[in-house]
Amino acid sequence: MLASLLDGARTPLGRKLAFVISNSELHSVACYRFGRFALRAGRRSRFAGFVFTVIHRIWNRWITHLHHCDISVHAEIGRGFLLMHRTGVIIGGATIGKNVVIHQNVTIGQRVAGGDQGLPAIGDDVWIGPGAVITGAIRIGDGATVSAGAVLSRDVPAHALVAGVPGRVVAQDYDNRAMLGPLVS
């Protein structure tokens, strides 16, 4: 019934409401942003921090189970972050720049093998394809493109196209602006 109501949204407000209610990628990112807000609120007021943290944890649990997406509040993610398909996305305490596009089944976080306890740092304007795995203390340069299924354990230079297991640079000076779409100005 809700879907039929949303499909018939004719007013600008109705279309916006339909978008907010039906966009699961937006739900996941909004939950992450609220979690970051709860962390900041906790630094100013223990009570407010507690209340907002409880709300966030309940919301995050719901998002994790409903949408199969888990973004840690300890990740630092810039503006313009876009989940193209949220299913299977796991983001640990990484640093992610602005205008980054991430597809489904991507894992970004700490590597547990080889004593590498560091976290990834992803630059601005990066496109990450489905099934990519990015772990450890590595740096992905601005404008880089990570192909579907790539497993990265080494640094990636700016504007490089990386593919394979393990990930290797297959093209230098690769222009990913068309893949990022309207995010890049």
Residues 161-182 pLDDT 10s: 999 999 899 989 988 888 877 6
**What is the predicted pLDDT for the residue at 124?**
95
Mind listing the domains of the chain with CATH numbers? 1-67 (no CATH), 70-185 (2.160.10.10)
Q: Could you give the CA distance from residue 183 to residue 126 in angstroms, rounded to a whole number? A: 11
Q: Give residue-wise pLDDT tens across range 72-82.
A: 899 999 998 88
Write out pLDDT tens, residues 19-64: 666 666 777 888 888 888 888 888 888 888 898 888 888 888 888 8
Cis peptide before 166 (omega within 30 of 0): yes
pLDDT band for 4, please (50, 70, 90 cuts). Answer: very low
pLDDT of 5 strictly over 60: no
Q: What are phi and psi of 178, to 5 degrees?
A: -65, -30
| For the ranges 57-61, 114-118, 156-160, the one whose mean pLDDT is highest | 156-160
| Nearest Cα to Cα of residue 28 among 47, 49, 75 | 75
Split at pLDDT 50, 70, 90, the class of 115 is low
Find tokens 């089944």 and name the residue: 105
The C-alpha atoms of residue 143 and residue 159 are separated, in whole angstroms, by: 5
Share of the chain above pLDDT 70, in %: 85
Predicted confidence band at 130 (pLDDT cuts at 50, 70, 90)? very high
| pTM, to two decimals | 0.80
Q: What is the number of residues in the chain?
A: 185
Mean local confidence (pLDDT), 104-115: 82
